[in-house]
Structure formats: C-alpha cells, structure tokens
Amino acid sequence: MDTLLIDAFSALLSSHCSSATVRATESGADCGELQQAITQAGFLDALVPEDAGGAGLAVSEVFPLVMACGEHLLPLPFAETMVARALLHSRGALAPEDARIVLAAGGPLLPQSGTATHALLATDGEWRLLPMREAESLFRLPLRLPDLSAAPVLRVAAGETELLVCAAAITAALMAGAMKRVLAMTLAYIGQREQFGRKLGQFQAVQQQAAVLAEQALSVEVSARIGFGGTAFTLSRSAMAKTRACEAAHQVCDIAHALHGAIGATFEYELHLFTRRIKHWQLAFGGEAYWARRLAGAYLGHEPRHAIDFLRFELDESPEQSI
C-alpha cells in the first residue's frame, strides 16, 4: 500500500510542485492548479470511509503521503485538510469542497497557512471552521490566521480528539520528509565538490558529520512513522514524534549548512527552502521541551510500571478508535 500511494502521489508532486512553484508561493502566487490536481486525484479524502466516498485508509497508511509533502515542500495544507475532513466527517459535518484547512492549535505559528482558506479551531468544547485573514509573514513565508470575528462556517462538538496532538504528528512527518531531502542534497554535494584535490566526502571529518546527519534524519523518519501508528493519533505517539523531530532539527540544519559551506546560504541554492521550513515546523505547535513534558506526563499519569512497558503499550501500533 505504501508503494502504490507514494508512487502516485510523488509523481503528482514532481509534476506540479517544483522549487519554482515553492518560490512563487512565497511571493504570494496562487496554488489553484496544484490544489485542483490533488483534489481530482482524490487524496484529500484518503481518511474518509469508503461508504462516504473516501478511501477508508487508516492514519498509519497515509504517513507516506504526509512525508512526501515535506520532501517536496508542498505549499498547501494537504495533510491538515485531509485530517480535518476526516475529523469533521466523523462528527457528521462536511467541509467545503474547495477548503484548504489548517489546524489552528497551539499559537499563531501556523505552517502552510499562507495558502489556507479556513482554520479548524477548538474553543469552548467545540470545533469551529473559520475563514482566514492576512497576517505578517514569518520565516519569509506567507501567514494567515483564523478570523475570530467572522461567523463560523461549521460548528461541531470537539469530543476527545485534541487538534494539537494531530498537528504535532503531522508536523513531525513533514519535518521527516524535509530532512530526508536535506540529507540527499548534502550527500550529493559532498560527493561532487572537490577541495585540495579530493572530493569532500573523502575527508574523514566530513564523513563523520554526514553520518550524524543521516542518523538524525533516519531517527526522525522512524519516530514520525510511529506518530502515525495505529488507526488514530494519540498523545504519547505524537509527543514522542514531535520531540524527536525538534531535537534533530538543530543538528540537521547546522550540519547541512556546514557541509555545504557558503553556497548553502545563497538564495539561489535550494537548501534554505528546506532549512527555513524545518525551523518553522520546529517552533510550530510546541518545541521539544513542551512535548517532552507532555510525554513524561503521559508516562507518570498511568499506574506505576516499567518504562519498557510504557513503550510497548503506548508507542505500538495496536488498533484503536478511528480518527
């Protein structure tokens, strides 16, 4: 299933989401054609049950799609919209067909909100789907925020699902995809660039740093996949995934720029497109300290047991209630 999904989705992103598209979006260009291609392919309803016209996939099955969004720097809130549509459907509500939805949880730093049309906001025991308003950009990325003065498009009971937990897992998966691409770019560069008559990748010090970069990127991918484990997002898995991704962001960005040297800081080179977003995602929805505290709280909140039992029962992929 992973292969079928990722092949089709990656082909779509490769055709419609180039670095030129990403740069144009930063300047305020519209993503209508890209949005239309994704909508027509049916990926937005991947988590909606089959009897409602969706694909009926579990959370774990859509992880490759979300990671691909980070790898291609998709400038649309695809993953957030996909999750929001499933969450609203589970409560008997239908999101507008053309809505690009972000999960407004945990502060004003909302990745992918620059191209969003709506935000799903939790307040007073309910979820409200609100239109967006323009805001000052951050990290040179367009930013929009929920228009709290506008009338909600939809209002549904929130239930037990926490939007912040969903947003954290999604963000960790996006970071994993971006880090995978940063690693590939760095390995390609040190394999081609020569200094003192040798390829950079032949120097032991460079090899050691590249190994650390690879270790960090792979650990984030594994953690992010666990964050999408099972059939629903959980606090423990999301907290673990976001903590690991935020911890790794420091070394991934530092090492990638160090090994690239001066060219990595230039506007023309693509590295900054990825590292700026990694730092953006690192701060969004809480950093490593916040999620480490929540993970510790989840552990301490259970009856006394060994840490290994907590890992086995809280971070596994056992079936749970649907999203």
Within the chain, all domains assigned CATH 1.10.540.10 are found at: 2-157
- Map residue 58 onto helix, strand or coil: coil
Helix, strand, coil share (%) of the chain residues, nearest 5: 60, 10, 30
What is the model's pLDDT at position 246?
98
Four-point Cα dihedral 119, 121, 126, 130, nearest 10: -40
2-157 CATH, one of 3.50.50.60, 3.30.9.10, 2.40.110.10, 1.10.540.10 = 1.10.540.10
Distances (CA, A) of 315 to 176, 230, 249, 299: 18, 9, 22, 11
Query: For residue 121, what are the β-bridge partners?
Result: 104, 128
pLDDT values of the chain reduced to their tens digit, one per residue, 323 residues: 567 778 999 999 999 999 999 999 998 888 888 999 999 988 999 999 999 888 899 999 999 999 999 999 999 999 999 999 999 999 999 999 999 999 998 788 899 999 999 999 999 889 999 999 998 887 888 899 999 999 999 999 988 889 999 999 999 999 999 999 999 999 999 999 988 889 999 999 999 999 999 999 999 999 999 999 888 899 999 999 999 999 999 999 999 999 999 999 999 999 999 999 999 999 999 999 999 999 999 888 877 777 877 887 777 755 444 56
Scan for tokens 């027509």, then name that residue: 40
CATH of domain 163-314: 1.20.140.10
The vertex-73 CA angle with 231 and 316, nearest 5°, equals: 25
β-pairing, 141-146 vs 118-123, is unpaired
Contacts of 12 (CB under 8 A, 6+ apart): 37, 38, 41, 43
What residue spans in the chain does CATH classification 1.20.140.10 cover? 163-314
Predicted local distance difference test score (pLDDT) of residue 1: 54
Evaluate whether 97 touches 251 at the Cβ level (below 8 Å): no
pLDDT at 319: 45
Q: What count of Cα atoms within 13 Å lies in the side-chain half-sphere of residue 130?
A: 22
